[in-house]
Amino acid sequence: MTQIQISNISKKFGHHNVLQDVSLTLQPNTIYGLFGRNGAGKSTLLNIIANRIFPSGGAVEMDNQSAIENDRALANMFLMSEIDMYSERMKIEKIFKQTELCYGSFDWGLARKLAQKFDLKLDAKFGGLSTGYHSIVKLIIGLSVPVNFVFFDEPVLGLDANHRELFYQELLQTYEERPRTFLISTHLIEEIAHIVEHVFMIDKGKIVIDGETESIVANSYAVTGPKKTVEEYTAGLNVIGHNLLGGLQTSYVYGQLDDNRIIPDTVKLEHVDLQKLFVYLTNGGGKHVEG
Partner 1 sequence: MEFNFNSTEPIYQQVAEQLTEAIFSGSFAENEQIPSTTEISKQFHINPATVLKGMNLLVAKELIEKRRGIGMFVKVGAVATIEQQRRESFYTDYILNLVTEAQKLGLSQEKLIQLIERGYQDDANSN
Partner 2 sequence: MLKGKVSRLVLYNFRESIIRLMWTFVWFIGITILLPNLFSLTINGLSNLRFNLASLDFTIVSVFFLFADAAIFKYDYFKWTIQNGISRHTAWWGKIGGTLLLTAVIVVIDIVETFARGEQLTNLFGLAGHSFGANVANVIQLYIAFLMVSVTGLVVGYMMALLSKRGKAVVIIGVPVVMIVALTYLARALVRARVDWNGVINFIKVVLGYSNQNGTVNLLNGSLIMIVWILVCLGISYLVSQKLRLRRD
Residues that bind partner 2 (CB under 8 A): 47, 50-54, 69-72, 74-79, 83, 85-87, 98-99, 101-104, 147
Q: Please, which residue, 20 or 81, has the CB nearer to partner 2?
A: 81
Smaller CB separation from partner 2, 102 or 244: 102
Hey, is 159 helix, strand or coil? coil
| Residue 39 touches which of partner 2, partner 1, none (Cβ within 5-8 Å per kind) | none
Question: Least distance in Å: CB of 28 to partner 1?
Answer: 13
Distance CA 272, CA 278 (A): 10
The kind and range of the H/E element at 102 are helix 92-103
Q: Which amino acid is at 24?
A: L
3-state SS class at 7:
strand
Q: How far apart are CA 272 and CA 204, in angstroms?
A: 22
Out of partner 1, partner 2, none, what residue 235 binds, judged by CB under 5 to 8 A for its kind, is: none
Given partner 2, partner 1, none, residue 47, with its beta carbon under 5 to 8 Å by kind, binds partner 2
User: Residue 184 pairs with which residues in a beta bridge?
Assistant: 33, 152
Per DSSP, 218 falls in state H
Burial class (CB in 10 A: 0-12, 13-18, 19+), 253: buried
User: CB 215 → partner 1: shortest distance, Å?
Assistant: 9
Tell me whether residue 274 is exposed, middle or buried, using C-beta atoms within 10 angstroms of its C-beta: 0 to 12, 13 to 18, 19 or more.
buried
CB burial readout 130-161, b (16+ within 10 A) else e: eebbbbbbbbbbbbbbebbbbbbbbbbbebee
Residue nearer to partner 2 on the CB measure, 101 or 269: 101
The CB-of-69 to partner 2 minimum distance in angstroms stands at 5
* Nearest residue (CB) to partner 1, 103 versus 168: 168
3-state secondary structure at position 116: helix
Tell me, by CB under 8 A, how many residues bind partner 1.
Answer: 24
Q: Which of 106, 175, 233, 254 binds partner 1 (CB under 8 A)?
A: 175
CA atoms within 13 A on the CB side of 53: 17
Nearer Cβ to partner 2, position 44 or 250?
A: 44
Cβ nearer to partner 1, comparing 190 with 232: 190
One-letter amino acid at 64 equals: N
By beta-carbon proximity to partner 1, the closer residue of 61 and 191 is 191
Give the interface segment with partner 1, choosing from 43-51, 98-106, 173-181, 282-290 (CB under 8 A). Answer: 173-181
Of 169, 243, 256, 283, the residue at the interface with partner 1 (CB under 8 A) is 169
Binding mask 192-231 for partner 1 (x = CB under 8 A): xxxxxx----------------x--xx-------------
Residues forming the site for partner 1 (CB under 8 A): 31, 168-169, 172-173, 175-176, 190-197, 214, 217-218, 270-275
